[in-house]
Amino acid sequence: MVPVAVLAAISAYYRWRPLPAGINGRLRSYRVPAEDIRFFHNTTWYENGQRWTVHQITPELLRLIEGAQRWVVADIFLFSHHHIDRARDYLPTTGWVAEAVAARERPVWFITDPINTSYGSWVSPPLRWLERAGARVCITDLNKLRDNNLLYSPFWRLLFRWMDKSWPPKIGNLLEPGATMSLWSLLDAINARGNHRKLLICDQGDSYVTLITSANFEDASSHFGNTAVTIRSAAVARHFLEAEKAIARVSGLDIPVTIADAESEGDAVVTPLMGADIKRALLCDLAAATPQDFLYLFAQFLSERRVIDALIAASRRGVPGVLVLDQNKVDFGNPKLGFPNQLAGPELARRTGFEIRWANIRREEYHNQFMLLCGPDRCILHVGSANYNRRSLSNTVLEANVRIDAPRQAEVSRKALSYAEWMASAPRSLPYHNGRRLRSLPKYLVYRFLEATGCGTF
């Protein structure tokens, strides 16, 4: 019993220990003119046997980087040659970003996740491109975060944390073709921690712009479905910048730039969301939804139980809506078992009145994390990196979202609503009965176990 008690104590402490100061900011909302907020999406679908694509997010990212004159701070989860051997038609996104960084002489700080160094035993070539282009690359120190995997992480902390990542044996790299990684790095990766943020802050003219998105800027993700917003506001940029500076600081890098605190006025309310505030905001908006609203929720992973319960409760109150889900059939070309959406989808189809649809993709992924609640006069939009699962919403992984409350007639609302209606119709998405659904009780129990313990990678 003593060893079990020790492991339980380690698991509980590292699940709830205090986080480094400032990495999730503080909850605060800002008034911003709605015309200073813009909406973008990347979408892939199949029609008449052909693949169709819309790419808006990467061009906007490149435009912002190239146009910045004073400095750029970016925090991007994946930036590598991750699985580039799986297809020949990927867009060379990592190269484009490196070229944009090199296009102008001004400081660039690029924060990223250790997945791009195979957790300390390999450095992905695109990171070296950034360094040669003049960027300061910061690898997030995940040891300062909370533990996500409640069963495995205590063993790792006791037995494997002390291992040098450069030690043999070397094994085939699971991410980078033709590369190797150490066994000790693989054991670190199983913890499923991460800096999963996807955002960029830079100057633009006399103000600052923040881009918040669900998109990774790497080749293998170039045809995934995603959404993004840009917000032209010094106050919002300052909010996100302070959180990014805190991450860099605990990871050994100083970002010596500031934005003066400034009040702003406008008809939209913008709330940066990080850490536990992401789930609180989602649940609060779902709880406040009425039958006069219309809900759109699009997700790569939908498994967080409180979110699912809130969706069921909203539907029972008469809130209408459409959910568009990824079928979870592939993961960068690897076959998947359908966890979690092929199990959560049937539950929601049975217990709610929402229309359930599947993104019409094949070897791509519908990587989106998007919620839009449209009322008679205003629209509430949630965009960002956080999946709707326990891992992303438990404050164990670094995420960055934004909540936007804008007039329904504002351009950002109209574009988001137009995208949502377009995505929720054929051929971009397929009816529920056209997709796979898992109805196995054992698989459902496994999915619930993986979700509850953090052992799943979805």
Over range 221-227, report the average pLDDT: 95
pTM of the model: 0.95
Over range 53-71, report the average pLDDT: 97
Q: What pLDDT band is residue 407 in, cutting at 50, 70 and 90?
A: very high
pLDDT greater than 80 at residue 335? no
pLDDT in tens, 100-129: 999 999 999 999 999 999 998 888 899 999
Q: How far is CA 39 from the centre of its chain?
A: 16
DSSP character string of 363-393 = SS-B--EEEEEE-SSEEEEEEES--BSHHHH
pLDDT greater than 80 at residue 360? yes
pLDDT greater than 90 at residue 14? no
Q: What pLDDT band is residue 441 in, cutting at 50, 70 and 90?
A: confident
% pLDDT > 90, the chain: 76
pLDDT in tens, 295-315: 999 999 999 999 999 999 999
Domain residue limits at 309: 269-453
CB atoms within 10 A of CB 445: 11
pLDDT greater than 80 at residue 331? no
Residue with more model confidence, 234 or 11: 234
Query: CA-CA distance, 199 to 205, in Å (whole number)?
Result: 19
Query: Mean pLDDT, the chain, as a whole number?
Result: 93
Amino acid at 277: D
Q: Are residues 263 and 233 in contact, defined by beta-carbon separation less than 8 angstroms?
A: no
Q: What pLDDT band is residue 333 in, cutting at 50, 70 and 90?
A: low
Note whether 289 and 169 are same-domain residues. Answer: no
Q: Which residues contact 63 (CB under 8 A, 6 or more apart)?
A: none
pLDDT greater than 90 at residue 82? no
First to last CA, the chain: 32
Note whether 380 and 425 are same-domain residues. Answer: yes
Q: What is the CATH number of the domain that holds 120?
A: 3.30.870.10
- Mapping DSSP to helix (H, G, I), strand (E, B) and coil, where does residue 431 land? strand
Q: Are residues 25 and 240 in contact, defined by beta-carbon separation less than 8 angstroms?
A: yes
Note whether 185 and 282 are same-domain residues. Answer: no
**Is 263 among the domain residues?**
no
Note whether 155 and 76 are same-domain residues. Answer: yes
Predicted local distance difference test score (pLDDT) of residue 280: 98
